[in-house]
């Protein structure tokens, strides 16, 4: 068996069965999502391939790798035709949809035509999650005998491409701090006078793809540099276990102290948890559990998450951002389903209010951010909806998915594909269909209505939605089997009263009750007070609050509560 926290998600497959009344609806919605995917994919192949991404309004293309480097198309090498990013990103979705023919055609084309020996400056993080992750995932799917996606011969061509790209990443890590530059020239390495600024996500969210590449090739360098950067980043945390948003890779100094769970930091949390699941290294778990508790203590306000100063923990910005919508999905993996549901409903209420999810909404002013009013077809809400449905089988999440499908078709579908929304208040469109619409948005919506691809299989999805199968051979040591005999009990035979589900690495829903059967754990950090009536003589009789994850204390009149301010 694998780590029990992952079973918080896996357990849903074993114990919940869809009612027959939902079956027809799910088939109908699955086919609508299939139509969406092929409308986007076919238009890309018609008007943009082999360039990177589609411009659906003008039915033309954009080379996103070069634009990420702020280069004009006329400044690109004359023989540069793009890196077919959308095709790379679409392979795992084609596999999930069961299109073996198109998957094999894509693999063969990339094998014969894709090259990274081009004089182009790219964003390390984006190229890692989109291209490297897409190649690795497609390679694993191609060699999986249960899928039989390729009828002809496959000789690890995608893995060789991934290895070539990974080697071109390595110069980015040659810094005094071991933290990688945010930008790299695929042909010439780090450019002269390259910016030294990067984000926490940018240097802390490389371990899944780079680690998988090392396991597949036997070359330890990829995992080594990514892990070294991650550990260095963690050493730079504050005493509150919080990290900032941007930093300097040469000096190791923080540039932006405000932090949260959204842009610039989001996938750092995600990759700690998923790296623990994929590789079984205890370092990842220790970092994640500390970081997760800190986020609950300092960012959470009811169902919302604001930003806070990494040094003081004081709130800085009260805002909802669309990238935060991934958080409920991560909480499902942890086992915090109640907290995930609470936040997810607020994100969906915002979707219902505006028709789609605005990029940034100011909670303290109850208004959309004046300059970030767009919706670029982001997948995070669909992702969390998929995870929550798997964890609960509550048909309400199917209704959420249906509403999202209707909105996307109503507001963003055009003749040439699906267009981003420039302004959610007017639904004015922008001429861009991001590759992640095919890699993630359509994929998670499809899996919501048809989970046959993941049923009875153990996958993690990268932050770009690329599936990587979890296998015990990638774990440094085989995890123990988890059953009641492995839980920590006190001498009296009861589970330790001061232990949380998080500290014991079990799901709150399956955690053993403490001394009193009426008590239960409401979240992974929750530790019930020793007495049901919350009476106490000392702080040792008080637990940990389920919502804020703060230690409760005993008042002068003998009741446990959150009496001490932060």
- Tell me the binding residues for Ca(2+): 463
Which tokens in the block code for residue 465?
Answer: 């939605």
Identify which of 227, 208, 292 has the alpha carbon closest to the alpha carbon of residue 549. 292
As a whole number of angstroms, the distance between CA 507 and CA 340 comes to 14
Strand 308-309, strand 304-305: pairing: unpaired
Q: Which residues contact 66 (CB under 8 A, 6 or more apart)?
A: 73, 75, 76, 80, 120, 121, 122
Angle between helix axes 380-392 and 337-354 (nearest 10 degrees) is 140
Round to whole Å and give the CA distance between 377 and 342.
23
Residue 531 near residue 524 (C-beta atoms within 8 A): no
Catalytic residue among 89, 266, 440, 464: 266
Give the angle subtended at the CA of 478 by the CAs of 472 and 480, to the nearest 5°: 125
Structure tokens at 193: 């006078």
CB 377 within 8 A of CB 89: no
- The active-site residue, picked from 126, 163, 209, 440, is 126
Q: Please report where in the chains the tokens 């790209």 appear, as a residue.
A: 165
DSSP of 234-258, one letter per residue? HHT--TTS---SEEETTT--EEE-E
| Tokens describing residue 187 | 């042909």
Q: From CA 540, how far away is CA 542, in angstroms rounded?
A: 5
Could you list the beta-strand ranges (E) of 64-127.
121-123
Out of 52, 241, 380, 545, the active site residue is 380
3-state secondary structure of 430: strand
Contact by Cβ (8 Å): 216, 169: no
Name the residue among 12, 54, 2 with its Cα closest to residue 432. Answer: 54
Check: CB of residue 7 under 8 Å from CB of residue 508. Answer: no
Is-catalytic flag, 556? no
Hey, is 145 helix, strand or coil? Answer: coil
Name the helix (H) or strand (E) containing 6.
helix 4-15
Q: Given its phi and psi angles, is residue 41 left (phi above 0), alpha (psi -120 to 50 degrees) or beta? A: alpha
* 380 assigned to active site: yes
For residue 106, give the nearest of 80, 134, 66 by alpha carbon.
Answer: 134
Distances (CA, A) of 210 to 9, 221, 446: 24, 9, 28
Q: Identify whether 270 is a catalytic site residue.
A: no
DSSP structure class, residue 559: B
478 neighbors 470 (Cβ within 8 angstroms): no
* Residues of the binding site: 463
Locate tokens 């690890």: which residue?
156
Catalytic residue selected from 52, 359, 383, 431: 359
Q: Is residue 35 annotated as a catalytic residue, yes or no?
A: no
- Strand stretches in 161-251, DSSP E: 183-185, 197-199, 246-248
Rounded to whole angstroms, the Cα distance separating 474 from 491 reads 36
- Residues belonging to the active site: 126, 266, 359, 380
């Amino acid at each position: 068996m694998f780590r029990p926290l992952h079973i918080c998600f896996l357990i849903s497959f074993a114990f919940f069965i869809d009612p027959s009344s939902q079956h027809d609806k799910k088939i109908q919605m699955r086919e609508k999502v299939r139509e969406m995917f092929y409308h986007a994919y076919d238009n890309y192949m018609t008007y943009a391939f082999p360039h990177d991404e589609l411009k659906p309004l003008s039915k033309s293309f954009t080379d996103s790798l070069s634009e990420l480097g702020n280069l004009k198309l006329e400044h690109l090498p004359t023989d540069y035709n793009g890196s077919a990013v959308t095709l790379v990103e679409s392979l795992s979705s084609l596999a999930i949809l069961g299109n073996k023919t198109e998957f094999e055609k894509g693999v063969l084309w990339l094998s014969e035509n894709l090259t990274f020996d081009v004089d182009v400056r790219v964003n390390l993080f984006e190229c890692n999650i989109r291209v490297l992750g897409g190649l690795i995932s497609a390679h694993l799917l191609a060699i999986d005998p249960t899928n039989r996606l390729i009828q002809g011969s496959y000789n690890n061509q995608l893995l060789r491409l991934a290895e070539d790209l990974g080697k071109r990443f390595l110069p980015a890590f040659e810094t005094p701090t071991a933290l990688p530059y945010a930008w790299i020239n695929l042909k010439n390495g780090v450019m002269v006078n390259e910016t030294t600024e990067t984000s926490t996500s940018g240097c802390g969210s490389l371990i899944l793809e780079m680690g998988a590449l090392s396991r597949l090739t036997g070359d330890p360098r990829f995992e080594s540099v990514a892990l070294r950067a991650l550990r260095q980043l963690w050493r730079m945390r504050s005493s509150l276990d919080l990290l900032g948003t941007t930093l300097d890779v040469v000096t190791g100094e923080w540039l932006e102290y405000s932090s949260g769970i959204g842009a610039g930091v989001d996938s750092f949390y995600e990759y700690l948890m998923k790296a623990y699941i994929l590789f079984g290294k205890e370092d990842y778990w220790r970092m994640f559990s500390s970081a997760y508790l800190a986020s609950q203590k300092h960012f959470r306000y009811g169902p919302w998450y604001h930003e806070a100063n990494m040094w003081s923990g004081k709130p800085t910005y009260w805002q909802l951002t669309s990238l935060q919508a991934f958080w409920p999905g991560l909480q499902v993996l942890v086992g915090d389903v109640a907290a995930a549901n609470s936040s997810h409903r607020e994100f969906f209420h915002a979707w219902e209010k505006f028709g789609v999810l605005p990029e940034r909404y100011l909670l303290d002013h109850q208004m959309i951010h004046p300059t970030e009013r767009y919706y670029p077809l982001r997948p995070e809400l669909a992702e969390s909806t998929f995870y929550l449905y798997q964890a609960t089988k509550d048909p309400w999440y199917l209704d959420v998915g249906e509403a999202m499908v209707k909105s996307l078709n109503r507001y963003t579908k055009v003749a040439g594909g699906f267009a981003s929304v420039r302004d959610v208040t007017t639904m004015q469109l922008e001429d861009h269909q991001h590759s992640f619409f095919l890699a993630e948005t359509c994929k998670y919506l499809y899996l919501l209505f048809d989970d046959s691809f993941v049923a009875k299989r153990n996958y993690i999805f990268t932050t770009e939605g690329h599936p990587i199968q979890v296998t015990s051979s990638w774990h440094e040591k085989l995890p123990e089997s988890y059953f009641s005999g492995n839980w920590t009990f006190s001498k009296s035979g009861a589970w330790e009263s001061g232990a949380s589900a998080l500290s014991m690495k079990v799901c709150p829903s399956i955690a053993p009750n403490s001394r009193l059967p009426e008590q239960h754990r409401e979240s992974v950090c929750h530790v019930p007070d020793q007495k049901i009536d919350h009476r106490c003589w000392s702080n040792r009789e008080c637990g940990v609050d389920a919502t804020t994850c703060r230690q409760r204390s005993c008042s002068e009149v003998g009741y446990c509560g959150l009496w001490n301010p932060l």
